């Protein structure tokens, strides 16, 4: 299902970067309670890997403001250009998350509203990559769908692909890669209906 839309995600976000930046600025930091929960698992001022960082606003900006160094990864050069202009002292990388191999570890790993654009097999292959970039006791937080399936939303008037594994499979993938689930809420009403996973390396 929707193989064309899944394959077009990178191009879509590059073409619609300005639209995304404007629309995201209007939503505010509704993720703050989850980000604070995530940060509570990290040492002070520790390095964070933000996978699918967008323009760095508002999530990376919040983390940087609290003293954390952020390495942001996004497949859109336009998004990364915006990051570099706003926060030139941080590290911003144009890359496909599926090919990430930074050869270093982070105490926090985020894949907020990014990882769920990958189709099922690519999502499964991401968990060893999360593990490869995780320092001891690292926290991992990502968003998913509520159940196994695929869905087509809309972004800038064009189809936007999403996919999710079954919650039991996410738990299994986390466990096999050394993470324990700290918290999981399906369609959190206090977080704009997001389904959130917070885990920690053990």
Using one digit for the tens of pLDDT, what is the confidence trace for 137-155? 999 999 999 999 999 887 7
H or E element: which one contains 191?
Answer: none
Residue pLDDT, tens place only, 39-71: 999 999 999 999 999 999 999 999 999 999 999
Q: If you average pLDDT over residues 29-33, what whole number do you get?
A: 95
**Burial degree of 189 (CB within 10 A; 0-12, 13-18, 19+):** exposed
Mean per-residue pLDDT over the chain, rounded: 92
According to the model, what pLDDT value does residue 159 have? 83
Q: If you average pLDDT over residues 13-17, what whole number do you get?
A: 73
**31 secondary structure, DSSP code:** T
Q: If you average pLDDT over residues 16-33, what whole number do you get?
A: 79
Q: If you average pLDDT over residues 103-109, what whole number do you get?
A: 98
Q: What is the CATH number of the domain that holds 125?
A: 3.40.50.150
Residue pLDDT, tens place only, 122-137: 999 999 999 999 999 9
State yes or no: pLDDT of 32 exceeds 60. yes
Task: Give the other-Cβ count within 10 Å of 144's Cβ.
Answer: 23
Domain assignment of residue 163, given as a range: 3-201
The span from the CA of 129 to the CA of 156, in Å, is 30
Asked if 85 and 120 touch (Cβ cutoff 8 Å), the reply is no
Question: Is residue 163 very low, low, confident or very high in pLDDT (cuts 50, 70, 90)?
Answer: very high
According to the model, what pLDDT value does residue 154 have? 78
Strands 91-94 and 70-74, how do they pair?
parallel
Map tokens 């324990």 to a residue.
180
Per the model's pLDDT, the better-predicted residue between 8 and 151 turns out to be 151
The span from the CA of 48 to the CA of 185, in Å, is 22
According to the model, what pLDDT value does residue 19 have? 67
State yes or no: pLDDT of 2 exceeds 60. no
According to the model, what pLDDT value does residue 127 have? 98
- Percentage of the chain lying above the pLDDT 90 cut: 78
Instruction: Name the β-bridge partners of 140.
Output: 109, 199
Which has the minimum average pLDDT: 2-6, 84-88, 132-136, 171-175? 2-6
Question: Is residue 8 very low, low, confident or very high in pLDDT (cuts 50, 70, 90)?
Answer: low
What total number of domains does the chain contain?
1
């Amino acid at each position: 299902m929707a193989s064309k839309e899944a394959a077009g995600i990178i191009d879509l976000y590059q073409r619609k970067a300005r639209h995304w930046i404007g629309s995201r600025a209007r939503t505010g930091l509704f993720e703050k309670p989850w980000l604070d929960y995530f940060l509570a698992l990290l040492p002070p001022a520790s390095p964070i890997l933000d996978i699918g960082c967008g323009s760095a606003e508002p999530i990376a900006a919040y983390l940087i403001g609290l003293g954390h160094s952020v390495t942001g990864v996004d497949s859109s050069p336009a998004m990364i250009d915006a990051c570099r202009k706003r926060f030139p002292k941080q590290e911003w990388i144009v890359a496909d998350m599926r090919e990430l191999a930074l050869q270093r570890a982070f105490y926090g790993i985020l894949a907020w509203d990014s990882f769920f654009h990958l189709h099922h097999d690519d999502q499964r292959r991401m968990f060893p990559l999360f593990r490869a970039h995780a320092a001891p006791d690292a926290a991992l937080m990502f968003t998913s769908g509520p159940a196994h399936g695929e869905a087509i939303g809309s972004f800038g008037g064009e189809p936007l692909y999403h996919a999710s594994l079954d919650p039991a499979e996410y738990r299994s993938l986390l466990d096999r890669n050394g993470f324990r689930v700290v918290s999981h809420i399906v369609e959190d009403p206090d977080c704009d209906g997001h389904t959130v996973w917070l885990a920690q390396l053990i």
